[in-house]
């Protein structure tokens, strides 16, 4: 007689991490748009020969915006890709 093993229940920690990843990924487009706008303002200031102080401030703003985008990508992409905890069935294998 063949017995079928039950799947382990999803831990609350896994559910929490999954929800956090989904929330971060939802903000990606907004953060990317902000970074693009900030870069445009910085490039326009460069072309207009703005003062060093203005370029420094705008450069720091651009750095902050790019860091937000990179951090979002890092948090959502650093973990191995897993199926959402509510997915059913055996894990899928890559066709490579």
Tens of pLDDT along 6-19?
778 888 888 888 88
Q: In this predicted structure, what is the pLDDT of residue 80?
A: 47
Query: Which tens digits make up the pLDDT trace of 31-57?
Result: 999 999 999 999 999 999 999 999 999
Query: Which tens digits make up the pLDDT trace of 60-87?
Result: 999 999 998 888 777 655 444 555 555 5
Count of structural domains, the chain: 1
Within a domain: residue 61? Answer: yes
- The mean predicted confidence, pLDDT, of the chain is 80
Separation CA 67–CA 31 (nearest Å): 10
Separation CA 71–CA 78 (nearest Å): 10
Separation CA 31–CA 69 (nearest Å): 6
| pTM of structure | 0.57
Within a domain: residue 39? Answer: yes
Phi, psi of 4 (to 5 degrees): -100, 125
The token pair that represents 16 in the structure block: 């929490």
pLDDT at 25 over 80: no
Sole residue written with tokens 């896994």: 14
Within a domain: residue 72? Answer: yes
Within a domain: residue 21? Answer: no
Q: In this predicted structure, what is the pLDDT of residue 61?
A: 96
Within a domain: residue 22? Answer: no
Within a domain: residue 34? Answer: yes
Within a domain: residue 82? Answer: no
Torsion sign across C-alpha atoms 61, 64, 67, 73: negative
Please give the residue range of the domain that contains residue 61. 28-77
């Amino acid at each position: 007689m063949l017995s079928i093993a039950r799947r382990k229940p999803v831990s609350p920690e896994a559910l929490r991490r999954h929800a956090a990843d989904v929330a971060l990924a939802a903000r990606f487009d907004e953060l990317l748009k902000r970074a693009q706008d900030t870069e445009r303002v910085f490039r326009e200031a460069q072309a207009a020969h703005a003062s060093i102080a203005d370029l420094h401030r705008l450069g720091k703003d651009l750095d902050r915006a790019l860091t937000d985008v990179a951090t979002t990508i890092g948090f959502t992409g650093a973990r191995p890709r897993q199926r959402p905890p509510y997915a059913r069935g055996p894990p899928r294998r890559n066709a490579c």
